[in-house]
Amino acid sequence: MIAPSLALCLALVAPPLDAAQIDKVLTAAHAAAGGARLDAFGATTQSGTFVQNGGPPNSFESVTDLRNGYTRSKLVIGPATLLQGYDGAEWSLQNGALSIVSLPSFVADAVTQAYLSSNAYFRNEARSTIASGESGSVDGRPAYVLHVEPAGGSVADLYFDAATYRLVKIVAQTAQGPDTTTYADFQTTQGVPVAMSSTDVDSAGTTTVTTVAAVQFTASPPPGALARPPYVSQGTLGATVSIPFVSDVAGASGHIVVPVTLDAKAASLVFDSGGSNFLLPGAVQRLGLHASGGIATGGAGTKEQMTAFAAVSSVDFGGARLSHQNFVVTPLSYAFSHPRKGVAPEGLIGFEYLANFRVAVRYAQHEMDLSAFDAPAPAGGVTLPFKSDGNHAYVSAAIDGVPGYYLLDTGNSGGIVLNLPFVQAHALFAKGGLTYQSPGGVGGGFAVLAAAAKSFAFAGRTYANVPITIPQVAAGFFATRGVAGNLGSGFLSRFTVVFDYRSQTVTFIPNRNVAMPFRSDHVGLSLNQSDAQAFDVVQVVPGSPAAAAGISAGDRIVAFAGKQVSSGLGLGDMYPYNTGTKPFTVTVARGNVHETVTLTPRYLFPAPQ
């Protein structure tokens, strides 16, 4: 193949549009969108269906104020009805709990969505939000691309078809990655062309196809149509209750597994401050519940999973009761859910309890206290305000002097996890570290980089030589922009953690473990578990004790320290050994051949950077 000349390459790059050309595009696009007819209307109401990843159809109704982009929508997914909207702040109502988005990067996304919903780019006063323009294409057709930067918002590219000047595509750079929406099937209603079909693809690859069945334009929104719903507590509690919990990590605090009754039937669930009502399909069947509907749900992994909803009339957690709850239903890995040493989680609870009660996690005592918001609060400690993504609490901390917001995640059995965009933006850990493979959670597994930070400043204390992990992902929670990372039980267990969602604060009361040394892997194994017989070796760190012992990816560990995995052990039972200092044996299976080798743990992490 003959390489093209430099002159030809330059000719193929379209020059940017100047201000006059941008104005011409906007004028033509405004006319194509209805012009004066569109300007005469102040609101639009739409209804129809949406389907995610080819799942079952769900219904929606929405009202939008075309003057400011304020919205209110109702989504019906199986038995669940969700309300969400924007009135200067993004809000949502689910399971009776009203939540407000305050995390800065998510606030920016909401501002841009309101800008787009109100067609603000057509108004003269918004001309300064058009940062640049160029020629481009959509599906091989010529298009004009305008780059918009709304004040206080995130950026987006608007694609106008060069022949019709209709807006046919939007690429928004959201906190969770690029989100692309294409529009089709334009039909004229009340003199205004409306795209009756749209396809949205988010950064995780989830595809949402929306079909508009009915649309109506009016001079203004119907009275009360955009009103934020009132918060109505679905919780009842006679007095403060203390509930013991167990951990699935031997010798440390991992997942918080608690006893719960769902419609008077007992279940074991993980209390996850980074999660919401959640059940495994097997639990739904065992409890006699019914799951329906279908949407995509994301988590730590890079992919979103299709989920359904199951209605539960009553949830009782140690005497703290919630009524009329819907639970997301989707599978999780065998490593999370299988029975081991009496611990067999069947799902999660979290946000809904935090929204209705003050919750204190007393890690040192392996107990949780639930009380009314107006009950006397625990004394002592440091109280921090939190920001919210709509459901979960993020507090400020600083790693190596760089501040950021960290999700408080009792459902993370690890320690301090950093988001890749945050690490890249601040050029942290440029020398790299050790590579492991994590089994992950919702959304699957992923590679992680493990290293040590010089310092971590949190709640009035500064820790030195702190192990951290950095998931190497391009989608999912750990790729979220504007979030520094995630604090799991491996770090939070140094405190009694008191969540107060009414005051939007979290209090950290040091316990007897506040100054305990940080623990990290000392053997170099990445493990998963797919059955009750063995641990699967996914990866081995080069030069580690595991590598020196001859263990390789693909091996299966059937016993360690004289204990058979088949006796009912999980990955957490190996924690004291692979983070300790004493030699121990592991029995490795390769086909029908078993070999017992000795691992001699040692510190593996490179020096703090």
Residues 366 and 415 in one domain: no
Q: Mean pLDDT over residues 130-135, rounded? A: 96
285, part of any domain: yes
Cβ proximity of 312 and 263 under 8 Å: yes
From 217, 167, 171, 261, select the one nearest 46 (Cα to Cα): 217
Do 267 and 327 sit in the same domain of this protein? Answer: yes
pLDDT at 596: 97
Domain assignment present for residue 578? The answer is: yes
How far is Cα of residue 384 from the mean position of the Cα atoms in its chain? 22
Percent of residues, the chain, with pLDDT higher than 70: 96
Average pLDDT over residues 165-177: 97
365 and 386 part of one domain: no
- Quick one: which of 109, 273, 115, 102 has its CA closest to 176? 109
Query: No. of H helices and E strands in the chain?
Result: 11, 42
Containing 12, the helix (H) or strand (E) segment is: helix 6-12
Q: Which two tokens stand for residue 298?
A: 């994301």
Asked if residue 227 belongs to a domain, the reply is no
Quote the CA–CA distance of 322 and 314 in Å, as a whole number.
6
Question: Which tokens in the block code for residue 110?
Answer: 């909401």
Average model confidence (pLDDT) across the chain: 93
Q: Is the pLDDT of residue 439 over 90?
A: no
- The verdict on 179 and 36 lying in the same domain is yes
Cα–Cα distance for residue pair 546/534, rounded to 1 Å? 16
- List helix spans (H) across 33-148: 36-39, 104-117
**Mean local confidence (pLDDT), 279-297:** 92
HEC readout, 403-423: EEEEEECCCCCCCEEECHHHH
E runs forming strands in 53-129: 58-65, 71-77, 80-86, 90-94, 97-100
CATH number at residue 578: 2.30.42.10
Q: Distance between CA atoms of 86 and 75, rounded to whole angstroms? A: 15
Total count of domains within the chain: 4
Give the angle 353-73-210 at the CA atoms, nearest 5°. 115
pLDDT at residue 6 above 70?
Answer: no
Question: Which of 371, 406, 440 corresponds to the end of one domain?
Answer: 371
Mean pLDDT, rounded, for 384-394 = 97
Q: What CATH number is associated with residue 455?
A: 2.40.70.10
**pLDDT for res 3:** 44
User: What is the rounded (10 degree) CA torsion for 500, 503, 504, 505?
Assistant: -60
Q: Which two tokens stand for residue 453?
A: 């930070």
Query: How far is C-alpha 395 from the chain's CA centre?
Result: 16
Spatial contact of 448 and 435, defined as CB atoms under 8 Å apart: yes
Asked if residue 211 and residue 318 are part of one domain, the reply reads: no
3-state SS class at 11: helix
Q: How far is it, in rounded angstroms, from Cα 1 to Cα 507?
A: 66
Helix (H) or strand (E) run with residue 9 in it: helix 6-12
Judgement on whether residues 55 and 167 belong to the same structural domain of the protein: yes
Beta pairing class for 58-65 and 43-52 = antiparallel
Residue 450 within a domain:
yes
Among 348, 339, 325, which Cα is nearest to 279's?
Answer: 348
- Residue 302: per-residue pLDDT: 58
- Whether 230 is in a domain gets the answer no
Q: Is residue 262 within 8 Å of residue 312, measured between CB atoms? A: yes
Supply the range of the domain harboring residue 278. Answer: 235-371
Range with lowest mean pLDDT among 152-166, 210-224, 466-480: 466-480
Alpha-carbon distance of 322 to 353, in angstroms, equals 8
Among the three residues 510, 539, 556, which one is the final residue of a domain in this structure? 510
Strands 563-564 and 556-560: antiparallel
With a pLDDT cut of 90, the percent of the chain lying above it is 84
In whole angstroms, what is the distance from residue 342 CA to residue 573 CA?
12
For residue range 486-540, what is the model confidence (pLDDT) as tens digits? 999 999 999 999 999 999 999 999 999 999 999 999 999 999 999 999 999 999 9
Same domain, 38 and 138: yes
The CA R_g of the chain, rounded to the nearest whole Å, is 26
Which residues touch 141 (CB under 8 Å, ≥6 apart)? 161, 162, 163
CA angle 576, 252, 315 (to 5 degrees): 135
The residue among 231, 202, 285 whose CA lies nearest residue 93 is 231
Q: Are residues 194 and 300 both part of a single domain?
A: no
Residue 243 lies in a domain: yes
Q: What pLDDT is recorded for position 474?
A: 86
443 with 554, same domain: the answer is no
Confidence of residue 4 (pLDDT cuts 50, 70, 90): very low
* Residue 285 shares a structural domain with residue 432: no
User: Poorest-confidence range of 46-50, 152-156, 243-247, 474-478?
Assistant: 474-478
177 and 93: one domain? yes
Q: Would you say residue 88 lies in a domain?
A: yes
What pLDDT, on the 0 to 100 scale, is given for residue 272? 96
Counted residue by residue, the chain has a size of 609
Neighbouring C-alpha atoms within 13 Å toward the C-beta of 609? 16
Residue that terminates a domain, selected from 481, 510, 539: 510
Cα–Cα distance, 101 to 120 (Å, whole number) = 22
Residues 54 and 168 in one domain: yes
Question: Residue range 422-446: average pLDDT?
Answer: 86
Question: What is the predicted pLDDT for the residue at 303?
Answer: 65
